[in-house]
Amino acid sequence: MVQHYGDTDTLTEPPTDSATQRYEAARAAAHRAMTSVTVIPDRPPVQPPADPELPVYRGFKFGAAFFGWLITVSMTVLLTAVIAGVGVGAAYILEYTRADAERRPGTAAITAAAILVLMLCLAIYTGGYVAGRLARFDGLRQGFGVWMMALLVTVLAAGAGAALNTQYDLVGRVNRPNVSLSNDALTTGGMITAAALLILPLLAALLGGRTGQRYHDKIDSMLD
């Protein structure tokens, strides 16, 4: 015996047009709700991370130049002590006395000037290198800043010394050796030494700052 529970044709009837439209409308609304982005007008836009290549990170940095100048002063004191010790030891071994220096004043003066220029160049090169490493960018400007600070401090110290000398005659109390050189020779030698002390340390400071920056340039080139 076969039992019929209903008409099976009613189970396969497609939905009416109104039901289809409601289904598509609900589906479209759900899709719009999922893909829509709510914009908050009072909220500021998110800024991207700062780029280290931006101009704000470049230029002269006073802090880097200042610490580079401190290193320059420290190196000057250290090198002065080392050169003085080596000079005393060499004079003792070679039995070089003050009388020998007075007999050949030109050689002694040229040697002293060359050692002084070399010492200052090495000291300010180290200071420029430190400034370039600290600032990362624009090493030439950092080295120039170290040189400028050293020059300003030297000028101020020379001015203070000249003011004190006018009152207390400090230079006249110094036991200077009798140099058998003409005034023209002393003037020419002094001008050449002054020019060397002005130009060569500047070049050394620029080179030191550029060398300090090169350390960061190598790292940036490996990361790119």
Distance separating alpha carbons of residues 221 and 224, to the nearest angstrom = 5
Query: Mutual orientation of helices 183-223 and 139-168 as an angle, nearest 10°?
Result: 150
pLDDT digits (tens, 9 = 90+) for 94-111: 777 777 777 787 788 888
Q: What is the pLDDT at residue 9?
A: 47
pLDDT digits (tens, 9 = 90+) for 148-177: 999 999 999 989 988 888 887 776 666 666
Q: Which residues of 17-51 are buried (b: 16+ CB within 10 A; e: fewer)?
A: eeeeeeeeeeeeeeeeeeeeeeeeeeeeeeeeeee
Q: Which residues of 179-216 are buried (b: 16+ CB within 10 A; e: fewer)?
A: eeeeeeeeeeeeeebeebbeeebbebbbbbbbbbbeeb
Q: What is the pLDDT at residue 77?
A: 96
Q: What is the pLDDT at residue 4?
A: 47
Distance separating alpha carbons of residues 212 and 224, to the nearest angstrom = 20
Distance separating alpha carbons of residues 197 and 124, to the nearest angstrom = 11
Q: What is the pLDDT at residue 74?
A: 96
The predicted model scores a pTM of 0.70
DSSP symbols for 84-131 = HHHHHHHHHHHT--HHHHHHSHHHHHHHHHHHHHHHHHHHHHHHHHHH
85 vs 42, residue with greater confidence? 85
Phi-psi region of 47 (alpha: psi -120 to 50; beta: other; left: phi over 0): beta
Angle at 84 (CA atoms; ends 81, 86), nearest 5 degrees: 110
- Closest to 153 (Cα-Cα) out of 79, 66, 82, 75: 66
Residue 117: pLDDT above 70? yes
42 vs 169, residue with greater confidence? 169
Q: Which percentage of the chain shows pLDDT scores above 70?
A: 73
183: part of which helix (H) or strand (E)?
Answer: helix 183-223
- State how far the alpha carbon of 148 is from the alpha carbons of 21, 126, 145, 174, in Å: 82, 15, 5, 30
